């Protein structure tokens, strides 16, 4: 795990004891800090009772605390901990901020921070894979993989690649990324932010924390608002990775896990990062070619009788599903779940790729209504039924695509459980 003498002798409260919270408790205790931990779940509290005091920081006397470390899922706009900690002058931070504070005691390294609305996970995993291919010591964390504090420190010359959500950036104040990447921003998480401007402002704080000599990378500078240009352009070295679009689209045919225009953007971002980190051309080429893709994100599950089955369960909004629909010419689209919008959004522009749609979940009737008269629709209701219906209708050369454009919580624990159910249903087709 990552520890630091910077935490020794200090007192912290940790609120939320899921994976990152548990790693935070362990890292702080191992660093010589005193920790008070809390979670609403009794079993979570019991899991740390041997090494931390148990107590709810809300309402407690926080005099002398160095920080309250909260999970990114804690809604600071509604949760009382934000106001309570402010009354004591105690910062509310996350595990990424603790990592930032520990950096001075780690072997010499670099940090890549990647944010945006869509494409963060793919770009993060792709950069990590290319660096590994090039023989660079690297790990990934933040909003992907294992909690960063729970991972072993990298040796000298290593690169930490961090996927950073707006929630994590909100809890971070001193992370100076050697390379900070801004992918496309579209409306999301507006239950946590007053408006779209506030959401964008959260993302841009990643660049505010950067030293002037570090690199800011972004997509299509001329399309960005004046505010965004000023925030990420003033005083930074910068690169517009849209400049590589044309060449990368031509190269995509060699990258089976990076299909579609959205992945051209992700690949362009990864290339800009890796060039900045001095990765050679041969390693770049091999890294792109061998990138396996992420589970549940345009994941090629199987090919049966010439029909490709693709799991894009991680597409939980229409902005995420639209690029998936643009990736193949002939698609049987499985769509539905717990809706975030009441329209097709950018998916409407991609219906020319859709041979037929199969609706599932709570939003199934809504999508059936929206798609009626535009593409053939089957109201399958259940995912397993939709897979059977689509497989029966599809022809060789076509794609059965689960890209739900919805959250999963109406029928599944999370998008990963939904994606696994898709895999299982495809596997059962041959039985």
Give Cα separations from 354 to 174, 330, 372 (angstroms).
Answer: 46, 6, 13
For 175-204, how does the pLDDT look when each residue is reduced to its tens digit (9 = 90+)?
A: 999 999 999 887 767 777 888 888 888 999
Weakest-pLDDT range from 126-130, 216-220, 361-365:
216-220
User: 396 falls in which pLDDT band (50, 70, 90)?
Assistant: very high
Please give the CATH number for the structural domain made up of 98-290.
Answer: 3.40.1190.10
Q: What architecture is domain 299-428? A: Alpha-Beta Complex (3.90)
For 321-343, how does the pLDDT look when each residue is reduced to its tens digit (9 = 90+)?
A: 999 999 999 999 999 999 999 99
Closest Cα to residue 70, out of 26, 21, 36, 142?
A: 21
> CB count, 10 Å around CB of 379?
16
Q: Specify the pTM.
A: 0.84
Name which residue leads in pLDDT, 265 or 169: 169
Helix 19-30, helix 95-102: angle, nearest 10: 30
222, pLDDT greater than 60? no
Q: Do domains 5-93 and 98-290 have the same CATH topology?
A: no
Weakest-pLDDT range from 33-42, 107-116, 212-221, 269-278:
212-221
pLDDT at 245: 56
> Percent of the chain beyond pLDDT 90?
77
Name the CA radius of gyration of the chain, rounded.
23
pLDDT at 419: 97
pLDDT at 313: 96
pLDDT at 235: 64
Mean pLDDT of the chain: 92
* Domain limits, the chain: 5-93, 98-290, 299-428
351, pLDDT greater than 70? yes
User: 402 falls in which pLDDT band (50, 70, 90)?
Assistant: very high
pLDDT at 72: 87
47, pLDDT greater than 90? yes
Cα–Cα dist 397/260, whole Å: 16
Non-local CB neighbours of 419 within 8 Å, separated by 6+ positions: 295, 296, 299, 311, 313, 314, 402
Cα–Cα dist 268/247, whole Å: 10
For 275-328, how does the pLDDT look when each residue is reduced to its tens digit (9 = 90+)?
A: 999 999 999 999 999 998 889 989 999 999 999 999 999 999 998 899 999 999
How is domain 5-93 classified at the CATH fold level? Rossmann fold (3.40.50)
Do residues 41 and 16 make contact, with C-beta atoms less than 8 angstroms apart?
no
Q: 113 — phi, psi (to 5°)?
A: -115, 130
pLDDT at 225: 66
């Amino acid at each position: 795990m990552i520890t630091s003498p910077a935490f020794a002798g200090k007192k912290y409260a940790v609120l939320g004891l899921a994976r990152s919270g548990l790693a935070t408790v362990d890292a702080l205790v191992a660093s010589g800090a005193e920790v008070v931990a809390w979670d609403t779940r009794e079993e979570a509290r019991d899991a740390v009772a041997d090494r931390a005091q148990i107590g709810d920081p809300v309402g407690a006397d926080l005099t002398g605390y160095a920080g309250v470390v909260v999970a990114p899922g804690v809604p600071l706009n509604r949760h009382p901990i934000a106001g309570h900690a402010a009354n004591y002058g105690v910062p509310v931070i996350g595990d990424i901020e603790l990592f930032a504070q520990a950096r001075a005691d780690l072997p010499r390294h670099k940090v890549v921070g990647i944010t945006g609305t869509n494409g963060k996970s793919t770009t993060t995993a792709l950069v990590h894979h290319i660096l590994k291919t090039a023989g660079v010591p690297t790990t990934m964390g933040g909003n992907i993989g294992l909690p960063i504090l729970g991972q072993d420190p990298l040796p000298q010359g290593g690169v930490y690649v961090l996927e950073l959500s707006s929630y994590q950036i909100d809890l971070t104040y001193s992370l100076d990324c050697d390379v900070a990447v801004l992918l496309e921003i579209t409306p999301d998480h507006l239950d946590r932010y007053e408006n779209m401007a506030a959401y964008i402002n959260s993302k841009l704080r990643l660049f505010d924390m950067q030293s002037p000599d570090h690199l800011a990378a972004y997509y299509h500078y001329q399309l960005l608002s004046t505010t965004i240009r000023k925030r990420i352009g003033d005083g930074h070295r910068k690169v517009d990775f849209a400049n590589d679009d044309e060449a990368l689209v031509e190269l995509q045919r060699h990258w089976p896990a990076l299909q579609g225009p959205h992945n051209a953007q992700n690949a362009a971002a990864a290339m800009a990062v890796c060039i900045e980190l001095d990765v050679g051309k041969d390693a770049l080429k091999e890294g792109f070619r061998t990138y396996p893709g992420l589970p549940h994100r345009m994941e090629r599950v199987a090919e049966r009788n010439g029909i490709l089955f693709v799991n894009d369960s991680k597409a939980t909004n229409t902005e995420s599903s639209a690029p998936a629909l643009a990736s193949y010419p002939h698609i049987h689209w499985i769509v539905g779940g717990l809706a975030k919008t009441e329209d097709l959004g950018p998916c409407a522009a991609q219906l020319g790729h859709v041979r037929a749609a199969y609706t599932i979940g709570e939003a199934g009737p809504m999508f059936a209504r929206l798609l009626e008269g535009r593409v053939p629709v089957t109201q399958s209701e259940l995912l397993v039924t939709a897979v059977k219906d689509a497989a029966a209708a599809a022809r060789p050369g076509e794609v059965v695509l689960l890209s739900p454009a919805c959250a999963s919580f109406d029928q599944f624990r999370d998008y990963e459980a939904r994606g696994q159910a898709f895999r299982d249903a495809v596997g059962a087709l041959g039985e």
